[in-house]
Amino acid sequence: MRMIRFAAAMAAVAAFAMVSTGVAQAGGNGAQTFTQIDKNVVEVDPPGSGNGNPCSGADGTLTLVYNDIFHGTINKTGSWFTGTLTGTFSFVPVDPSQPSYAGHFTVWFGDENNKQNEVEHSTMNIHHGVGSDGSILRLHDNAQATMNANGVITVSFDKFRCG
């Protein structure tokens, strides 16, 4: 469920970016589109922020350095947003008996909606997170929610795997 909330938040960021940046006209159907690219973004989430070790639950400081790209299109029948973030992470736990980790991550999300339905989906992968104790942190999360025109969720899942 955390990834669905993350994807929804990223869709909101993408929508805001579309309003606050130049919007290019796309051909046909009154469509407008935008693309935003950021390089070397640094994000530091302190202990207690809810972004601890997703596999052990250990609290700590999570530091991300990443590149991202957001793309959106809106026309009179709906909108489509997608985003990808990829970069490196480091995690330093509050409890010194827990291992620290460093590695690579990728997050992708998408949001599509029209007058008949809406679909939110996301994937997240942690690749080769190497622990200070020699352990390896791997994570895969795949989530989706589909809502019909009446606002009823017809499909919802979050497949989360640590290993």
Nearest to 110 by CA among 82, 138, 68: 82
Residues 50-108 pLDDT 10s: 888 989 999 999 999 999 999 999 988 889 999 999 999 999 999 999 999 999 999 99
**pLDDT at residue 21 greater than cutoff 70:** no
pTM score of the predicted model: 0.78
Integer Cα distance of 129 and 139 in angstroms: 9
Residues 120-158 pLDDT 10s: 999 999 988 999 999 999 999 999 999 998 989 999 999
HEC profile of 14-65: HHHHHHHCCCEECCCCCCEEEEEEEEEEEEEECCCCCCCCCCCCCCEEEEEE
Residues 117-128 pLDDT 10s: 999 999 999 988
